[in-house]
Amino acid sequence: MTDTRAPYRGEDLRFDYDRDAFLRRLQRLLPRADQVIDDPEGLRPYECDGLAAYRQLPVAVAIPETIEQAQAVLALCHEYRVPVTARGAGTSLSAGALPHPQGIVLSLARFNRILELDPLRRTARVQPGVRNLAVSEAARPHGLYYAPDPSSQIACSIGGNVAENAGGVHCLKYGLTVHNVLAATVLTPEGERIDIGSSALDAPGYDLMALYTGSEGMLGVIVEATVRLLPEPVHKEVLLAAFPSVEAGGHAVAGVIGAGIIPAGLEMMDGPAIRAAEDFVHAGYPTDAAAILIAELDGAPDEVTEEVTRLSDLLRQHGASEVRVAADAAEQARFWAGRKAAFPAVGRISPDYYCMDGTIPRHQLANVLTGIDRLSREYGLRVVNVFHAGDGNLHPLVLYDGNVPGEFERTEELGRRILELCVDAGGTVTGEHGVGLEKIDAMCHQFRPAELEQFHAVKAAFDEAGCLNPGKAVPTLHRCAEFGALHVHHGQLPHPELERF
Amino acid sequence: MTDTRAPYRGEDLRFDYDRDAFLRRLQRLLPRADQVIDDPEGLRPYECDGLAAYRQLPVAVAIPETIEQAQAVLALCHEYRVPVTARGAGTSLSAGALPHPQGIVLSLARFNRILELDPLRRTARVQPGVRNLAVSEAARPHGLYYAPDPSSQIACSIGGNVAENAGGVHCLKYGLTVHNVLAATVLTPEGERIDIGSSALDAPGYDLMALYTGSEGMLGVIVEATVRLLPEPVHKEVLLAAFPSVEAGGHAVAGVIGAGIIPAGLEMMDGPAIRAAEDFVHAGYPTDAAAILIAELDGAPDEVTEEVTRLSDLLRQHGASEVRVAADAAEQARFWAGRKAAFPAVGRISPDYYCMDGTIPRHQLANVLTGIDRLSREYGLRVVNVFHAGDGNLHPLVLYDGNVPGEFERTEELGRRILELCVDAGGTVTGEHGVGLEKIDAMCHQFRPAELEQFHAVKAAFDEAGCLNPGKAVPTLHRCAEFGALHVHHGQLPHPELERF
């Protein structure tokens, strides 16, 4: 991408402190030369995350190696009122790990050990910098794996997964990160250590584990997490179905889930995505189809065999022109390869693309796809659709050329309109990528002022000084008013408090 | 039960207001004579919930019929700083709905309508006073049901289920209430209305839906909830296995789950429970067994048939002396009838019993059962064990005679020791009954001061004045210090803040 955003605006985000004194103290806490970075060249890799359109250099990067060091860094930042953005692998797609201009990045890259793997309890206790896939790799000798599998699972880390409540292909059946994290050790903004959650069924007290999960680094810093491991399925089958229209594919998804079949994965690609992927990896996709569904079924062999039959029948009843069952493991891998390569494949047919992430109730799939098509024509920008159909999580890719003046702005506006479409259909502005800075204005469309105020109250209960990842995830009412999105919503008038601003 | 507790102590719980003026204003808000109760006779039914050992008359009971009336009542209580305890059907087993001596009960009994049932989305939007079972009854014509099924499901209401994060037999496979509630309309302590959660996969912002779920009426009052409905299983089988010892039964449970079988229900009863139930309902249980497991498997016919074989083999490998598969629906019902009647059956063999609710990691079942047996002998009190074995949720029933001086006190102490055993085994002091007032001291054993402080900060973010159900669920540090339970825990020294008290 060639254009970059000026990510922060001034509101509520001024932090005044003696930068030199702070840096001297920081260097004393982390004595090794490679633990504090503050030269422009060294800071460069930290100026953005996976959403490279937003860039901002931090004041410094702190790289603690122990919980005690991380506690000391947080306590120091709290004392000086310095913004802190925790960073795992930096693969966020919503600028969640974008630094604050007056702040430091707290890198958890060296918290990279698997502390305990208990095959009997089926849990792994890991440091936050451990890569998602590394957990499954360590569990494999015991016939176990960690279910949430974001596309970035080779690179992304567990801490970031918890912060963003990451999803993935298998979340339809096995849940999001919040359903697979049992407990965590969290540092408060003051650097105090608390233990939350439980590996038992339920934990008494307020559900802080669910609250921290998906809180985008705004409430605390996770320094240890205990995750659930699942037994690897005994048997699996992968099906591919072709449809004459995306609407038919959308109805088929609603029909499958409605019939009580919960595949381990149920993914959809539209025509342009099919052809881009096929050109790229030769997955054997039907390039004349308007949409394909890829479904994975897993379990005991007999149940899977029965479900393959039921699912195939259902897909045909919903208009599939062709249903193929992968003949062997090699063909299964090929069916998935096309889906997994869809994003880079789209990168080959357009100078730039912008990946959206919205969620809608499943039965709205056909409706929303029609709406996206209409918007695409209105803005004169091509939209390619690749998504976790089973759980209604859309990833429309808007194709654009960053070198054409104004095209990125038009892309951003189209993206916003698509998210509004999702909200109006009863959905949300993010499924698994988080809000970060990218979708903070869309939050004004999603929530009423009373709800945003409750979010701010929660933030204040954990981080009164507002130092943790300031300006992300939850917009100020002021920002929403500026953005002009505080219109009547849910049939309610805006909150009278708003007049304060 | 003959003895009753003096439930509240003074700390942090003084509320001074002009009671007459408050009551006059309350009566003006709820004009119908039957909407405000303040005569002793009328208040009597509200003095306790399902845990009748704790009794306290409120100042008044308010019975609004509309959201607007409930908002007005909350705003008034906030203005006068009057404690408010929301009450659904009053079936709580932890004194969660016990009134505050200076407070009112906000009855949601007339919020009893199912507002919308959408078979396509598979959701029901209901008022909080709707009975749990009524949701499934309304959904049945569409082949759907609401999964969480507490034993009290005939009587208990959805609002209370959300407040307590209720469980039930089927929660092993289908999750607790928190996994089955999608969205809610909540009133803040000031009477403001906010919408939380989403019927889409994920909601952006902090996960307030999970936070309110299980918050025991301390954060807000739920006036509407949208719950997930599931398709009724096509086919089910019920198995009964007899074991020569409770330890063998415990190992079998860990073995079943470890093998990747997640039954729709997996319940265990020990010898005394088996014999009490058999005498009462003639379920056909093997009365010479030391323990039985009852397992329900559901799904497509072929998968269930395969799982029955796998499960039977596993149970025998783990020492089951007998495994029976119910021959027909009548026998299935009989197998369950004994389990469902276990509590009243125990009531027939003892003047009184006290039902505990702790949760432990499944692999600790055999250990903890041995520990409970040891404690039972130490205290000279019989303990009968009935529990949701699959998810490690124990319900030890302590048998006692309330007419024997000191026996209830000994029972309470034994109960506390059992919960400490659960915590020390990596478990928690409640699985599904909530903390309420009953287990508030046990929370001092479960959590360190830093964690309790974070709970209090959350409470303050939602209810700064502290009017909602004060004194429940989360103990003050002062109370824990008095209770003497702030010992070294998780290898950490007590929090220095404690010296403040």
Q: Over the stretch A304-336, which tens digit does the pLDDT of each residue have?
A: 998 999 999 999 999 999 999 999 999 999 999
Average pLDDT over residues B125-138: 97
- 3-state secondary structure at position B241: strand
DSSP string, B59-111: SEEE---SHHHHHHHHHHHHHHT--EEEESS---SSSTTPPPTT-EEEE-TT-
| A487 vs B22 pLDDT, higher one | B22
Distance (Å, rounded) from C-alpha A142 to C-alpha A343? 33
CB contact under 8 A, B206 and A455: yes
Residues in chain B: 501
Q: For chain B, where do the domains classified as CATH 3.30.70.60 start and end?
A: 350-424
Cα distance from N-terminal residue to C-terminal residue, chain B:
36
Fold classification of B235-343 (topology level)? Alpha-Beta Plaits (3.30.70)
Which run of H or E residues covers position A384? strand A383-388
pLDDT at A253 over 50: yes
CATH architecture classification, B114-231: 2-Layer Sandwich (3.30)
What integer pLDDT is reported at residue A157 of this predicted model?
A: 97
- Taking alpha carbons only, the member of A376, A488, A471 closest to residue A9 is A471
Average pLDDT over residues A163-182: 91
- How would residue A11 be classed by pLDDT, with cut points 50, 70 and 90? very low
- How would residue B499 be classed by pLDDT, with cut points 50, 70 and 90? very low
Distance (Å, rounded) from C-alpha B288 to C-alpha B286? 6
pLDDT at A385 over 80: yes
Distance (Å, rounded) from C-alpha B462 to C-alpha B436? 18
Distance (Å, rounded) from C-alpha A260 to C-alpha B11? 52
Average pLDDT over residues A68-94: 96
Distance (Å, rounded) from C-alpha A46 to C-alpha A84? 13
Q: What is the pLDDT of residues B388-406, one digit of tens each?
A: 988 889 999 999 998 999 9
- Write out chain A residues lying below 8 Å of B201, CB-based: 167, 171, 176, 359, 391-393, 428, 431
B329-340 helix and B342-349 helix, angle to the nearest 10 degrees: 50
- Taking alpha carbons only, the member of B12, B6, B7, B36 closest to residue B24 is B36
pLDDT at B6 over 80: no
- How would residue B490 be classed by pLDDT, with cut points 50, 70 and 90? very low
Q: How close, in Å, is residue A233 to chain B by CA atoms?
A: 9
User: Token pair for residue B302?
Assistant: 């072929």
Burial (CB count within 10 angstroms: exposed 0-12, middle 13-18, buried 19+), residue A245: middle
Return the residue matching tokens 């010479």: B288
pLDDT at B501 over 50: no
Average pLDDT over residues B140-144: 95
Percent of chain B's residues with pLDDT above 90: 72
Distance (Å, rounded) from C-alpha B81 to C-alpha B12? 13
pLDDT at A6 over 80: no
Query: What is the SS3 string spanning B385-451?
Result: EEEEHHHCEEEEEEEECCCCCCHHHHHHHHHHHHHHHHHHCCCECCCCCCCCCCCCCHHHHHCCHHH
Query: Rounded to 10 degrees, what is the CA torsion of A25, A31, A37, A39?
Result: 80
Query: What is the SS3 string spanning A47-114?
Result: CCCCCCCECCCCCEEECCCCHHHHHHHHHHHHHHCCCEEEECCCCCCCCCCCCCCCCEEEECCCCCCE
**Is the dihedral angle over the CA atoms B415, B419, B420, B425 positive or is it negative?**
positive
Q: How close, in Å, is residue B57 to chain A by CA atoms?
A: 26
CB contact under 8 A, B204 and A473: yes
What integer pLDDT is reported at residue B492 of this predicted model?
A: 37
Q: Does B198 touch chain A (CB under 8 A)?
A: yes
- How would residue A121 be classed by pLDDT, with cut points 50, 70 and 90? confident
Sort strands A322-325 and A181-187 into parallel, antiparallel or unpaired: unpaired
Instruction: Quote the Cα angle for B415-B416-B417, to 5°.
Output: 90
CB contact under 8 A, B258 and A122: yes
Which of A120, A194, A201 best probes binding to B when mutated, by most B CB atoms within 10 angstroms?
A201
Q: For chain B, where do the domains classified as CATH 3.30.70.3450 start and end?
A: 235-343
- Write out chain B residues lying below 8 Å of A258, CB-based: 120, 122, 231
pLDDT at A414 over 50: yes
Q: Do residues A233 and A223 lie in contact, with contact meaning Cβ atoms separated by under 8 Å?
A: no
Which run of H or E residues covers position B224? strand B221-228
Q: How close, in Å, is residue A218 to chain B by CA atoms?
A: 10
Average pLDDT, chain B: 90
- Which residue type is seen at B28? R
- Which residue type is seen at A433? H
Instruction: Classify domain A350-424 by CATH number.
Output: 3.30.70.60
What integer pLDDT is reported at residue B465 of this predicted model?
A: 93
Cα distance from N-terminal residue to C-terminal residue, chain A:
36
Average pLDDT over residues A95-108: 96
- Taking alpha carbons only, the member of B107, B109, B88, B102 closest to residue B22 is B102
What integer pLDDT is reported at residue B8 of this predicted model?
A: 52
pLDDT at B305 over 50: yes
Which residues 263-292 of chain A have a CB within 8 Å of chain B? none
Please give the radius of gyration of chain B, using alpha carbons only, rounded to the nearest integer: 23
What integer pLDDT is reported at residue A485 of this predicted model?
A: 52
Q: Do residues A165 and A210 lie in contact, with contact meaning Cβ atoms separated by under 8 Å?
A: no
Please report the number of interchain residue pairs, chain A to chain B, with beta-carbon separation below 8 angstroms: 236
What are the start-end ranges of the H helices in B213-319? 246-258, 271-281, 301-317
What integer pLDDT is reported at residue A487 of this predicted model?
A: 38
Percent of chain A's residues with pLDDT above 90: 72
pLDDT at B168 over 70: yes
What integer pLDDT is reported at residue A450 of this predicted model?
A: 92
Which of B120, B161, B186, B201 best probes binding to A when mutated, by most A CB atoms within 10 angstroms?
B201
Average pLDDT, chain A: 90
Q: Does B391 touch chain A (CB under 8 A)?
A: yes
Instruction: Point out which residues pair with B86 in neighbouring strands.
Output: B106
pLDDT at A489 over 80: no
- Write out chain B residues lying below 8 Å of A432, CB-based: 202
CATH architecture classification, B19-107: 2-Layer Sandwich (3.30)
CB contact under 8 A, A450 and B193: yes
Return the DSSP state at B184.
E
pLDDT at A363 over 60: yes
Distance (Å, rounded) from C-alpha A58 to C-alpha A84? 10
Lowest-confidence segment of A362-366, B187-191, B225-229, B444-448 by average pLDDT: A362-366
What integer pLDDT is reported at residue B280 of this predicted model?
A: 93
Q: Do residues A281 and A266 lie in contact, with contact meaning Cβ atoms separated by under 8 Å?
A: no
Return the residue matching tokens 């999750």: B175
DSSP string, A421-466: HHHHTT-BS-SSS--TTTTTTHHHHHS-HHHHHHHHHHHHHH-TT-
Percent of chain A's residues with pLDDT above 70: 94
Distance (Å, rounded) from C-alpha B347 to C-alpha B351? 7
CA distances from A302 to A236, A294, B231 (A): 11, 21, 21
Which residues 6-65 of chain A have a CB within 8 Å of chain B? none
- How would residue B13 be classed by pLDDT, with cut points 50, 70 and 90? low
Average pLDDT over residues B51-65: 94
Distance (Å, rounded) from C-alpha B271 to C-alpha B246? 8
Q: For chain B, where do the domains classified as CATH 3.30.465.10 start and end?
A: 114-231
Q: What is the pLDDT of residues B210-245, one digit of tens each?
A: 999 999 999 999 999 999 999 898 899 999 999 999
Lowest-confidence segment of A195-199, B258-262, B355-359 by average pLDDT: B258-262
Residue A309's contacts (CB-CB under 8 Å, 6 or more residues apart) are none
- 3-state secondary structure at position A480: helix
What integer pLDDT is reported at residue B106 of this predicted model?
A: 98
